[in-house]
Chain A
Amino acid sequence: MALESVLGRVNIVGIGATRQGKLPEYSADDIAVLAFREALRDSGLQKSDIDGLLVQRSFGDAGDIKEIGHRLGLEPVVGDSVGHHGEAVHKAAMLVASGMCKYVAIVYGTNQRTNRNKFGRNVYHMGGNFDEVYGLSNPGATAAFNYRRRMADFGATEEQLGAIAVAQSKGAALNPLAVYREAMTIDDYMAQRYVIAPLRIVDFCMVSDGGFAMIFTTPERARDLPKPGPTIVGMGAQASFLELEHPRAMYHPSQLPNAKMLWDNTDVKHKDIDALYVQDAYTPNVFSALENYGFCEFGTAHEWAQGGRIEMGGELPVNIHGGQNRFSYMVGWHNTHDAVTQLRNEAMERERQVPNANTIMVTVSTGHWQSTWSMIYRNEA
């Protein structure tokens, strides 16, 4: 076993969220401060207790650690910028477990909807100008390539893909924080317009404003706080920077080795997972994660996920907060926030609470051919 020095030794003791959607009255950095304030209030800690601060950079040069640190009025032992929620959780856990910091806050705020982040225009990093010459744009192109290949390799259908958007829409309908709260049927899904076929508009994440923050400490210190859990009992990481040349290029190659690290180093089994949160910038990512993390066999997720299996009340509820196409574009931060909410039995709307939620898995990623992180959170006695 590796990771013994971290697993079981770090709890999440505070979570905070702002409103999601459009917040034109605040700058991105103010949104980050508001999220931190909510997490601090939730934890019962004093601001001066926070001796570790990790801030994710966000659209438009926001989220600079010096700027956020100043607005928070903090003088922490460690104050660093990070690139992603997964990196923030993993580094927070290491800082706490190592003893370098006692209470680590991780923070993200963005106003990329108000400030009109048109990331669909971005040329994806495969060939720079070559991409423009051949008409390739929008990071969602990789997910469309992935699903087209899945259709050819395994006979997957567009209707089967719709199961994800439908499930997430049903979850969002019950989530008071969600930006889009209309539940969809599969007929509604099939009637949506294509953006990059075989993907439809509702297979793509939205662009939204909002912020989230979390606070981490040891289980021993957590016992003195009002909301002491959950505990991090599983972690996996893997970066994969090969792009089209990777033999498994179409199927999120970093997730397989990530899954091996995760499952080899935890006592949690797949059957113990009460809910799964996948960073779903594009809906086909959910199928890749279900297979690569071992919830079903490779090449079967599009069948496995049918019939309500991934919906609330199903065998494995997935992205029951609504995901990034219905809840909010919060690049993984919404996953840990909702996981902790569920584990605390705080999803007040009766239908939205996973019954007896005890163990929840989160997986997040910077992109199809970049870094992925996985975490398992569990309520310890």
Chain B
Amino acid sequence: MSEYDKPMPVITDLNRPHWEAAREHRFMIQQCNACGHKWFPPMAICNVCLADDISWVDSKGTGKVHSFIVYHQAWLPGWLKVTPYNVAIIELDEGPRFINNIVGIENDDIKVDMPVRVVFEDVAPDTTIPRFTPADA
């Protein structure tokens, strides 16, 4: 297997719980302890009620494809040689929408609102990247 050469996660104090959970094949999102709002990717302060009392919680890792696009041109290192590649907006059952990829399916077969579930790609000994695959795959 060739070395993974796409952009790697840059670990910060803010996002560390997410990436450490990914290594254990768990998908974690944030939740506001004051108002219950859930979101991802991470922010230090809730943008609904502005509380900074935040917890990381496990997501079930299931949701659907809100929309998706297919790059035939690439601007980021490592992505050019895998064009055409997809980027999708995932909507988790818990609510948050965020950017990810759909794997285990041809780009032409992806559908908007298709149910998906998280899978984990161990790209380096200490790095795991969560991606999504059709729920029935």
Contact = CB atoms under 8 A, between A and B. Distances in A.
Interface of A: 118, 120-121, 123, 126-138, 141, 144-146, 148-149, 151-153, 193-199, 244-245, 249-250
The 4 closest A-B pairs by CB, nearest first: A152-B112, A132-B7, A244-B97, A127-B41
B69 A141 contact: yes
Given A120-B75, A145-B89, A148-B68, A135 B101 contact: yes
Main secondary structure of the interface of B (DSSP, over half): loop
Contacts of A149: 66-67, 112
A127 B14 CA distance: 12
Contacts of B70: 194, 196-198
Nearest to B9: A133
B69 A244 contact: no
Nearest to B68: A148
Q: Which bracket fits the contact residues of B?
A: 20 to 34
B8 interface: yes
Given A135-B74, A145-B67, A198-B70, 5 more contacts: A126-B99, A141-B87, A194-B84, A196-B72, A249-B97
B96 A135 contact: no
Q: Which of A128, A135, A148, A197 has the most CB of B within 10 A?
A: A135
Contacts of B9: 129-130, 133
Contacts of B74: 135, 137
Contacts of A195: 71-73
A136 B99 contact: yes
Contacts of A133: 6-9, 129
B97 A245 contact: yes
Contact of B76 (A127, A135, A148): A135
A194 B74 CA distance: 12
Interface string B27-44: 000000000000101000
B8 to A, nearest CB: 7
A134 B41 CA distance: 12
B59 interface: no
Interface string B96-119: 111111000000000111000000
B98 A148 contact: no
A135 B87 contact: yes
A368 B93 CA distance: 25
A140 to B, nearest CB: 9
Given A127-B98, A198-B69, A137 B41 contact: no
Contacts of A244: 66, 89, 97-99
A126 B99 CA distance: 8
A120 to B, nearest CB: 5
Contacts of B69: 141, 144-145, 148, 196-199
A19 B6 CA distance: 41
Contacts of B99: 126-127, 130-131, 134, 136, 244
